[in-house]
Amino acid sequence: MPENRLPGSTKSESVSKQEDDSEDFPFLDKDAILFLENEGLKVKGRISFPVNESILIAFKRGQYAVADQLQALRRELEINSLTKLHFAAKMGSERRVLELLNDNADINVQDQDGFTPLHYAVEAGNYRIAEILLSRNADVNMPSLSLTTPLHTATKNGDHKMTSLLLNNKANLEAKDGYSCYTPLYYAVRSKSQKTIDLLMNAKADLDSK
């Protein structure tokens, strides 16, 4: 999964921000948030804004830094096929994740590279979000297009706490990714996290696997 990718809504969706939940768009600065609050459509405490129209308004008002941020957001929405749940999982917004799940969001939805919201939560180290997703029956072993599972990601990051959570939810110890058929143990060794290595060893990871 590319690092520092900016999660968000799908291209066809307007982006939404709760007025009292600044966690939803932490990559936008205060000027951008204020701009959207002033120019957006306010309905029952929610500000919804079509990205393209917002960019044009910002340019017309000479708020070029704001327009640049919104253009970056638009590029990510168009390129990466991300959903609001991917975004919320990445950013660690527990309230937003629960809201989306309660609205029947697809918990195992995949982006264009096959990564699920659980992958995003694990990559970002958002333990509580991963807990919530797993408690709602997120597929702990769903691979991306490159056959990367959430456990590959956790061990690659040397995140022993996340690794333990995934193992406790029956993550596949011997899953092999699509790059070189490497298992989570291989990535744990590369991460040099002894706690992560010990977790896999105690779970009886195959030492003969890569």
pTM: 0.68
Return the pLDDT at 55. 76
pLDDT of residue 48: 47
- Of residues 42 and 108, more confidence is placed in 108
Please report, rounded to a whole number, the percentage of residues in the chain having pLDDT higher than 90.
50
pLDDT tens digits, 143-193: 999 999 999 999 999 999 999 999 999 999 999 999 789 999 999 999 999
Architecture, CATH, for domain 81-138: Alpha Horseshoe (1.25)
Secondary structure in 3-state letters for the chain: CCCCCCCCCCCCCCEEEECCCHHHCCCCCHHHHHHHHHHCEEECCEEEECHHHHHHHHHHCCCHHHHHHHHHHHHHHHHHCCCHHHHHHHHCCHHHHHHHHHCCCCCCCCCCCCCCHHHHHHHHCCHHHHHHHHHCCCCCCCCCCCCCCHHHHHHHCCCHHHHHHHHHCCCCCCCCCCCCCCCHHHHHHHHCCHHHHHHHHHCCCCCCCC
40 pLDDT higher than 70? no
Which CATH superfamily includes the segment(s) 140-210? Ankyrin repeat-containing domain (1.25.40.20)
